[in-house]
Amino acid sequence: MMPGGELFEIRKVAAGVYVAIAAPAYKVNSNTVIIETDDGLLIVDTHSKPSAARAIVKALKDLTPKPVRYVINTHFHWDHWQGNEVYPAAYPNVEVITNDITREAMVRKSLKRIRDHIRSVPLEIAKLRADLTAATDPDRRAEIQSHLRQAEAYLAELEGLRPALPTMAFENTMRIFNRDREIHLLHLGRAHTEGDVFVYLPKEKLVATGDCVIGWAPFMGDGYPEDWPRTLARLEQLDFTQMLMGHGEPAGKEWLRVFRGYIADLVEAVRREAAAGATLDAVKARVPDQLAPKYEQAFSKYGTYRPWRQLVLANIERTYATVG
Ligand SMILES: [Zn+2]
């Protein structure tokens, strides 16, 4: 284990491959995968803000004098690419790579969402201030104060953000061959977003999954619940032993099966209820208890940080809207 500041814990997962696990935060950061090759580094995802990416760059400089040559963005979500600008500033020859679909989504959706965030975060801050005034419990007050500090710092960074879009985009597959390493960038179909990229190291039997597989219940707001299990079935065909996920601790294929099972069973349960004429409220009242025996414990590894009972309701809403 190496220091990654207070935002990350950096761990070695294979020779020359590291994962920076993001600490729980009010404004979530993605994990980063760091892959060393003979002539430079490849980084997967850049978090929600430049200061988080700068913490990684600082840790990299302690690790090796080699420059970052490639940054991969796994998808268009804010918490995976808003730190991009740090890399060309620190390493002038870096290429930022994703696939065509994700780059297009960044242009069409992310840039607008950044502007929306600049308008909505001040409302969030006002709400936190009101909550703080109303709170009396010292622990709760300390928690709100911490959230407030994080929200204010995030807003300041957003206002100064210079979004660095990918400089290269591929269609389905791109392979990077180095003397000592082979890195495959794969699009296996729609899942968490329309353009998810997996980063696969066949020799090391490692795969970075972005948010197609994470440690807790997925965010499905831009997802494709019916396609997702099929895409994960394709992922399962690859020969690997470890998944380095967008959020949460590294995991093996057992977790992929649980995670895929959850989405498949969720889709089936929601489809069955919707076909019988159930309203969204009725589905939200019934389906969590149907899924709980198989999934509640498995999806509660991170305690109250991302509680399954809350996330499953959002998952049901998205699924109901897409199958119903
Ligand atoms: Zn995401």
Q: Are residues 209 and 228 in the same domain?
A: yes
Q: Are residues 60 and 114 in the same domain?
A: no
Exposure of 203 by Cβ count < 10 A (0-12 exposed, 13-18 middle, 19+ buried)?
A: exposed
- pLDDT, residue 2, reads 52
Count of domains forming the chain = 3
What are the backbone dihedrals phi and psi of residue 86, each rounded to the nearest 5 degrees, phi first?
-65, -35
Confidence of residue 310 (pLDDT cuts 50, 70, 90): very high
Confidence of residue 180 (pLDDT cuts 50, 70, 90): confident
Confidence of residue 324 (pLDDT cuts 50, 70, 90): low
- pLDDT, residue 27, reads 82
Dihedral angle sign, alpha carbons of residues 52, 141, 215, 107: negative
> Which one-letter amino acid corresponds to residue 324?
G
Where does a domain end: 251, 280, 307?
251
Q: How far is the CA of 136 from the centre of ligand 1 (A)?
A: 35
Q: Are residues 120 and 95 in the same domain?
A: no
Each residue of 23-76: pLDDT tens digit? Answer: 888 888 899 999 999 999 999 999 999 999 999 999 999 999 999 999 999 999
- pLDDT, residue 5, reads 64
**How far apart are the C-alpha atoms of 138 and 131, rounded to whole Å?**
13
Q: Are residues 93 and 237 in the same domain?
A: yes
- pLDDT, residue 29, reads 85
Q: Which two tokens stand for residue 125?
A: 């801050």
Q: How far is the CA of 106 from the centre of ligand 1 (A)?
A: 12
pTM value is 0.94
% residues pLDDT > 70 (the chain): 98
Q: Are residues 167 and 152 in the same domain?
A: no
Q: How far is the CA of 281 from the centre of ligand 1 (A)?
A: 26
Residue 283 domain boundaries? 258-323
**How far apart are the C-alpha atoms of 2 and 16, rounded to whole Å?**
13
- pLDDT, residue 199, reads 98
- Which is nearest to 204 in space by CA: 8, 36, 9? 36
Confidence of residue 7 (pLDDT cuts 50, 70, 90): confident
Is-contact 69 94, C-beta < 8 A? yes
Q: How far is the CA of 135 from the centre of ligand 1 (A)?
A: 32
Spatial neighbors of 206 by CB under 8 A, at least 6 apart, are: 13, 14, 17, 200, 240, 241, 242, 243, 244
Is-contact 74 191, C-beta < 8 A? no
Q: Are residues 152 and 300 in the same domain?
A: no
Q: Are residues 66 and 138 in the same domain?
A: no
Q: Is pLDDT at 3 greater than 80 in this prediction?
A: no
Q: How far is the CA of 315 from the centre of ligand 1 (A)?
A: 14
